[in-house]
Amino acid sequence: MIEDRYVELFDVVKAYPNPFGEAIKVVDGFNLLVKQGELVSVIGHSGCGKSTVLNMIAGLIPISSGGVIVAGREVTGPGPDRAVVFQAPCLLPWLSCYGNVMLGVKQVFPDATKAERNQMVEYALCAVGLRDSMHKYPKEMSGGMQQRVGIARAIALRPKMLLLDEPFGRLDSLTRMELQDVILNILNFEKITTMMITHDPDEAVYMSDRICMMTNGPHAKVGEVMDIHFERPRDREEIMETADFYEYRRRLLQFLDDCEKEKEARKKVKAG
Amino acid sequence: MAESAKDKVKYKILKALDVSGFTAFDPVIRLIFGEEPQKQLQAIVKYLVIPFFFVLACLWIWTWMGPRHKTKSGEVPTPDIVWESAVINDTIADREEIKEQDFLLEGVEREAALAEVTKEYAVLSEEVKRLKELVATAEAEKAELEAKAIGPIQEKHDALKAEYKLAEKERDEGIAAISEEVAAGKADTASLIAAIRDDGVATDAERAELSALKSQIDEIRSQKYKPLEEARKSYDKVADAQFFMKTRLEFLDKRNLTVKLDEAQSKLDGYMTDLASAGSAKDALKIAKRAVKAEESVDRLEGQEYASAVTIYHQTKRSIFTVFVGFFMAAFVAIPVGIMCGLNKIFMACLTPIISVFKPVSPVVWLLIFQIVVGAFFPDPENHALLNFLNELPLISSLEINPALIFSACTVAMCAVWPALVNTALGVSSIDQDHINVARVLRLGFWNRLFKIVIPSALPLVFAGLRISLGVGWMVLIAAEALSSSDGLGKFVWDEYQNGSSLTFANIIMVCFVVGIIGFLLDRMMIVLQRFVSFDGGGTSV
């Protein structure tokens, strides 16, 4: 039972007061169920509140009304059970890669022995392909490498849920593809329930089990949820050759297009 | 392979230059290692040779303008005079050291040194005698030359003077005659007034002529006669050395510690034997009292140290020590308080008025306040436990820590605390939101958050603040020392200003350079530290 409702977002609302004291609901009634081990992408136009939803799950910003339950527990604040990979790598520049990952491991596994911790950190760094650059400092690495450390830091915590906030948003397309595969590989082993924010339809279709399309804000909510039926592990070239891929992609773009048109219409009504 | 090892050395040197901020010498190193000589030579000309010539030009302007400005303390000293005064100060320091050694010499060594110095003294005395004669002959020559040059002018002067005296007498008589005529009503008053006026004009003209001649004579007298100058200079030098030998003789003989001790001891022994054979009770009492006094003087002598004259090196050491005491006091307060200000807005709001009001207060005011406040803690500085303890510590015992040093340091601390505090608060409060989010996701506790996230991220700004603090402290210190007569470079300058010797002005300018160079080195030191702690490889200005 809990496997099917591992993560539950129930009528989640995020409202910010405007200067006149009226509450502007950025996200209004967001409902979503995520199964255990599933990778759900959230896609939508920029500014629609995707990141707001993710930050609410992470507990980094308070929820105005409604509730988020992760693994049977309501979210009240941030915690290492929901590891976040931010858009910027957010590494601490005064620590090496190893130190950055170890910081979290030490905090989450205070009772582990030194050797155990060491193993956890090294495993996470190897999993993202940084076996040889473990002791480098962030400034000595490229953006893609830094983001790998960010991913290693998140998975080293053995989280119940992995939250990816446009993790490849600042990378060039080659690096992006590399990192998509890094994450998919890790998830093939670890089966961590994952939510990923993105605005790239290809990426969403290639990586996700389900795609949650958000309507435009304000009052953004789930517009449509699309299941992606590709087998795992996935092979990029194979998938790209299927007709399904293009169909999924077409539907996504169609939805985004419709959202945009609706927004235009609303604007016209308002202006008129 | 050898090539790469060479490169390694090169890049190590270049890195060291970069960290210490001497990047101007970068092309020199590259040239030595033969990297693109053409380009390096261009860079050397642009960034080293041209600046070097600019500095030379500045020195030349200084040399040119100095003697053209007459002041109460003589001419503005030129660079070579300033350098000379630096050399003299160095000699003074050396001699003090030798004198101290002499003072402490014992037994055979003392006798050997005494013999040697006596011999040297005799040689120097001969030399002094010879040079004195040379000076005398040069003086005579100069006098002769002067007499030759001045003679005709003097004669002319005297002749004119006599002539004018007669002329004046004549005029006076004429005026007297006219006035009588006016009284008798034979002449009109206007002619009398005119006569008096003419007399005034004539007298002025005569005086001007005479004084022109006089100043000609003075000019000739004031002209420097080179052989005499040289003779005097070499005489002064040797006489100075001779005087030094004389003092050394004193310190090896009469004023030597062991000699003095022996003397006092033998005096005491004499009293003791006298006491044993004292005839009457009255005599015994008298002798015993003397013996006690002699005993005391032996005790006092045993603890005696050489009372060294203050040298520039001693003053410099003390100033550097004082500035670091003040600086560490400031850092000790500023960093924790700054961190609290950065972390807590209420705390910041509480401190803002205090910072705003006290930050602009002049160091002079702080100095006076601390002089009174700190003075109250040391009613009897000679016997204060803390001061005695500090003065017995190794390394710093020679600095003679006294209340003056403490309140100078407090003044430095008070003025240096603000930049460090404000920068620390800024560094802590402007920590990256992303880093805070990391800490929140990891649920780091307060101390972990402080030591793993907040302090490392604020460190570059903290050190930037400390660097400013040290610079401010060093500037404040010199002023504070000058004002409070606390030993140090400030006092050295002030004493020079008060003494008014021939070297005064040169010494003051020398201290200007000493203070500047030490300040520069302190700043460089802080830059290096800053570079080491800043994770972003910190851009630091020169």
SS3 of B340-368: HHHHCHHHHHHHHHHHHHHCCCCHHHHHH
Q: Are residues A64 and A44 in the same domain?
A: yes
Give the count of domains, chain A.
2
Contacts of A95 in chain B (CB under 8 A): 456
User: Is residue A77 in some structural domain?
Assistant: no
Q: With respect to CATH, is domain B312-533 assigned 3.75.10.10? A: no
Q: Are residues A135 and A269 in the same domain?
A: no
- Min Cα separation A126/chain B (Å): 21
Q: Residue A194 has what pLDDT?
A: 94
Average pLDDT of every residue of chain B: 87
- Judge: B434–A139 Cβ closer than 8 Å, yes or no: no
Q: Are residues A112 and A33 in the same domain?
A: no
Q: Is it the case that residue B25 has pLDDT exceeding 90?
A: no
Q: Are residues A105 and A190 in the same domain?
A: no
Nearest residue of B to residue A91, measured between CA atoms: B435
Q: Are residues A134 and A248 in the same domain?
A: no
Q: Are residues A42 and A175 in the same domain?
A: yes
Q: Are residues A50 and A185 in the same domain?
A: yes
User: Is residue A196 in some structural domain?
Assistant: yes
Q: Are residues A271 and A169 in the same domain?
A: yes
User: Is residue A85 in some structural domain?
Assistant: no
For residues B182-191, average pLDDT? 80
Element (H, E) at B444: none
The last residue of a domain, from among A158, A178, A198: A158
Q: Are residues A193 and A230 in the same domain?
A: yes
pLDDT-derived band of residue B536, with 50, 70 and 90 as boundaries?
A: low
pLDDT-derived band of residue B2, with 50, 70 and 90 as boundaries?
A: low
Q: Is it the case that residue B538 has pLDDT exceeding 70?
A: no
Q: Are residues A197 and A115 in the same domain?
A: no
User: Is residue A78 in some structural domain?
Assistant: no
Residue A23, classed as helix, strand or coil, is strand
Q: Is it the case that residue A101 has pLDDT exceeding 90?
A: yes
- Judge: A80–B435 Cβ closer than 8 Å, yes or no: no
CA distances from A102 to A87, B431, B450, B470 (A): 21, 21, 17, 36
Q: Residue B537 has what pLDDT?
A: 55
- Judge: A108–B442 Cβ closer than 8 Å, yes or no: yes
Q: Residue B516 has what pLDDT?
A: 96
The last residue of a domain, from among A108, A125, A158: A158
User: pLDDT tens, A50-97?
Assistant: 888 999 999 999 998 888 999 888 998 898 999 999 888 888 888 899
User: Is residue A32 in some structural domain?
Assistant: yes
Q: With a CB-CB cutoff of 8 Å, which residues 429-458 of chain B face chain A?
A: 432, 434-435, 437-438, 440-444, 448, 452-453, 456-457
- Min Cα separation A205/chain B (Å): 28
ipTM passes above 0.90: no
A&B contacts, CB < 8 Å: 53
CATH code (residue A249) = 3.40.50.300
pLDDT-derived band of residue B539, with 50, 70 and 90 as boundaries?
A: very low
- Judge: B438–A83 Cβ closer than 8 Å, yes or no: no
Q: Residue A272 has what pLDDT?
A: 63
Contacts of A167 in chain B (CB under 8 A): none
For residues A147-176, average pLDDT? 90
Domain that holds residue A179: 1-69+161-272
- Min Cα separation A92/chain B (Å): 7
Average pLDDT of every residue of chain A: 88
Among A94, A102, A158, A162, pick the best mutation site for testing chain B contact (most B Cβ within 10 A): A94
For residues B376-388, average pLDDT? 84
Q: Are residues A96 and A58 in the same domain?
A: no
- Min Cα separation A206/chain B (Å): 28
Cis peptide before A218 (omega within 30 of 0): yes
Q: Are residues A184 and A214 in the same domain?
A: yes
Contacts of B443 in chain A (CB under 8 A): 78-80, 107
Q: Using alpha carbons only, how large is chain B's radius of gyration in Å? A: 37
What percent of chain A has pLDDT above 70? 99
Q: Which of A80-94, B223-237, B405-419 has the lowest mean pLDDT?
A: B223-237
For residues B471-482, average pLDDT? 93
Q: Residue B540 has what pLDDT?
A: 45
Are the beta carbons of A56 and A68 closer than 8 angstroms? Answer: yes
- Judge: B442–A80 Cβ closer than 8 Å, yes or no: yes
The last residue of a domain, from among A108, A131, A158: A158
Among A57, A92, A95, A102, pick the best mutation site for testing chain B contact (most B Cβ within 10 A): A92
User: Is residue A133 in some structural domain?
Assistant: yes
- Judge: B453–A92 Cβ closer than 8 Å, yes or no: yes
pLDDT-derived band of residue B344, with 50, 70 and 90 as boundaries?
A: very high
What percent of chain B has pLDDT above 90? 31
**Dist CA A70 CA A9 (whole Å):** 9
User: pLDDT tens, A237-272?
Assistant: 888 888 889 999 999 999 888 888 888 888 888 776
User: pLDDT tens, B151-174?
Assistant: 888 888 888 888 888 888 888 888
Q: Residue B24 has what pLDDT?
A: 84
User: Which residues, including other chains, have CB under 8 Å from residue A72's CB and lie 6 or more apart?
Assistant: A2
Phi/psi for B153 (5° steps) reads: -65, -40
pLDDT-derived band of residue B465, with 50, 70 and 90 as boundaries?
A: very high
Q: Is it the case that residue B474 has pLDDT exceeding 90?
A: yes
